[in-house]
Structure 1
C-alpha cells in the first residue's frame, strides 16, 4: 500500500478487509495484515480457496439477480474493491456499497467516486436501522421496489450479542416483495477443530470472528424463500457450465445461498 496513510487507518492492527484482500492475492494490505493472515493459513491452508470461492459466488449471485430483474443492490460489508465487483457484474444497476472500515471507504471513493451509479456509504452491519435511514442510501435505493441485499462474508463478524438474526430481520422488513438476500458465511462443520485457532487470530484483528454451524447459517434465511439449489457449499451454487465442482467439504468452508421475499418482509 502507499506510504501516505489516510486518517483513520491503523496499519499496525490486523484488519479483516485487508486480510481478505491478502487471501485473494491483492496488494492493499500491510505487514500486520499479512502476518495475521499467514497465521490463519497455518491453521486452515485452504482459506485462500475459500475466499476465492466466495468472490466467485458473488459474481454468479449478482448475475443471477440481474437476470431476475433486480436493478438495485445494497452490498453491506462490501470490502475492498477487487474482481467481480457488483457494479461490474450488473452494469447500469444502482449499487450502494456499505462498510465501516476506513481502508475500504478511502479506496472505494478513490476508485469508484466518479461512477454515477455507485454510492459508497459508511455504515455498520450491526446497526441496520441506521443504514436503512441513511440519506445517501435512501437517495440511491427505492425500497418500494425489489432490491438485492448482499451479506457476503460479513455475518461471521457479527457476534451473538449483536443479534445477527435480528440484523437480518430488520433488513428483511424493509425489503419489498421480489427482493432478494444473498448471504455467505464460514461454516465450521468441516473443520470444527480449527475454529479456536482462527478465532484467536481474529480476536487480535479489527473484528472478531464467530464460528457458526451450518444449522445456524441456514436459520439466517428464516422469512425468505430460498431459491435452488438451496444453501450449499459455494462452488455448488449454480456453477458455470462445465466448471468442475470440488468434492464436498474440500476447502469449501463457506455456505451460502439466495432467498427471495414473497410477503413484503
Structure 2
C-alpha cells in the first residue's frame, strides 16, 4: 500500500482497524504501524487470525444462503477494505444482476474501494457511519441504487463490536431493521469474550491507539442485537457452526462456548 494515495492529513503512523484486519487475512493493504498493532493484539488473543478467516468464510456462506432465498440486494455496512471474494462477487455467482452497496466511514477504505470498484455498475460505495443509521438509510444515492420496496440483506459483520454502549448498538440495529421491507434479512457477527475476559482490556488498549474503539462483550450482551429478527437455523452460534461446508475446525476452538458469534435473521 502506498500511503501517498491518501493525500494530505494522512498519518501512516496511526494504526487502522481495517488494515489490521487485512493483515490478519494475509493481505497486502497494510502499513508497518498496522502490523505492529496487530501483533500486539495477537499477544493477548493468538487465535484472532483464525476468527478473522472464519468471519470471512461466514460472509461467503451467508451471502450464498441469502441469494438462495431470493435476495438480490445487499447492503454491507462497515465493509472494510476490498479483498478477494467480496459480497458483490459472491452475490453475482449465485444471483446474477444482484446489486450491492458498500458503506464505510474510513476515508482510506473509501478511496481504495472506489478505485477498485469504479467499473462495477452493480456496485455502489458510499460514506456512512453506523453510529448514524438514519443518514445511511436515508442516503439518496443508496436509495437510488437499492429498491426499498423489495427485500434487502444488511450485513453487519465484525463491526458492531466497534460501537460503544453509549451509542446504543441495539437501538442502531433496530433503526436499520425498521427501514427494511418485510422479507429482508440481517446478518451480524460479533466477537465474544466469554472464554477469555481477562484478555479484553489489553485488546481494547491497542485499539485505543488505532482508528477504532473495540468494545469487549459477553455473549449475553450480544444476544439482544438479534431481537426482532426471526433467526434462521442454527440460530446464534460460533462462526464455524453456521451452515458450514466443512464442520472441521481448530481443535482449540471446538469446545469453546462463545468466541465469535454470528447469526442471520429475517425481517418479519
TM over 0.5, shorter chain:
yes
The CA deviation at 1:249 is: 4.9
Partner residue of 1:37? 38
* Structure-2 change in CA distance of 1:24 and 1:189 (3 Å): same
TM-score for the superposition, normalised by structure 2: 0.94
* 1:1-265 → structure 2 map (5 Å cutoff): 1-7=1-7, 9-91=10-92, 92-240=97-245, 242-246=246-250, 247-249=253-255, 253-262=259-268
Q: Which runs of 5+ in 1 are unaligned?
A: none
Do 2:240 and 2:247's aligned partners in 1 also have CA atoms closer than 8 Å? no
Q: Which runs of 5+ in 2 are unaligned?
A: none
Do 1:55 and 1:84's aligned partners in 2 also have CA atoms closer than 8 Å? no
Do 1:233 and 1:248's aligned partners in 2 also have CA atoms closer than 8 Å? no
The CA deviation at 1:237 is: 0.2
* Residues 131-164 of structure 1, C-alpha deviations (whole Å, 9 max, x = no match): 0111111111111211000000000000011110
**3-state SS, counterpart of residue 144 of structure 1:** coil
CA RMSD of aligned residues (A): 1.4
Q: How many residues align?
A: 261
Please give the alpha-carbon distance, in whole angstroms, between the structure 2 residues aligned to 1:78 and 1:237. 20
Point out the structure with the larger helix share. 2
TM-score for the superposition, normalised by structure 1: 0.95
Do 2:12 and 2:33's aligned partners in 1 also have CA atoms closer than 8 Å? yes
Displacement over 6 Å in runs of 4+: none
**3-state SS, counterpart of residue 4 of structure 1:** helix
